[in-house]
Amino acid sequence: MDTSQIYILISLVVLAVIAVLVIVVNKKKGVRKLTPLAGIAFAFVLAGIFFGTDRVVGYSLMGVGVIFAVVDIFKNLRQK
């Protein structure tokens, strides 16, 4: 398994964990709108996928998106 494949696998696992956390939190609290920080995180992850031909840029953008998503989750959990 190549190093880039490991990074992609780790990113997918992190995104799956984030998705599960969002679903679990939404079932408890009801449906909520997408926050601006979550939208920015989603945009960074998509940009990382689109600019994936340059590995450094692609993985950096995905990493920033995942960090923003985690920050948004913790911020929302503290508010509730």
Q: pLDDT at position 50, please?
A: 82
Three-state SS for 28-73 is HHCCCCCCHHHHHHHHHHHHHHHCCCCHHHHHHHHHHHHHHHHHHH
Domains: count for the chain: 1
Q: pLDDT at position 26, please?
A: 67
Range of the domain at 22: 3-79
Q: State the pTM of this model.
A: 0.60
pLDDT tens string, the chain, 80 residues long: the values are 678 778 888 888 888 888 787 777 766 665 667 888 998 998 998 888 888 788 888 889 999 999 999 999 889 888 76
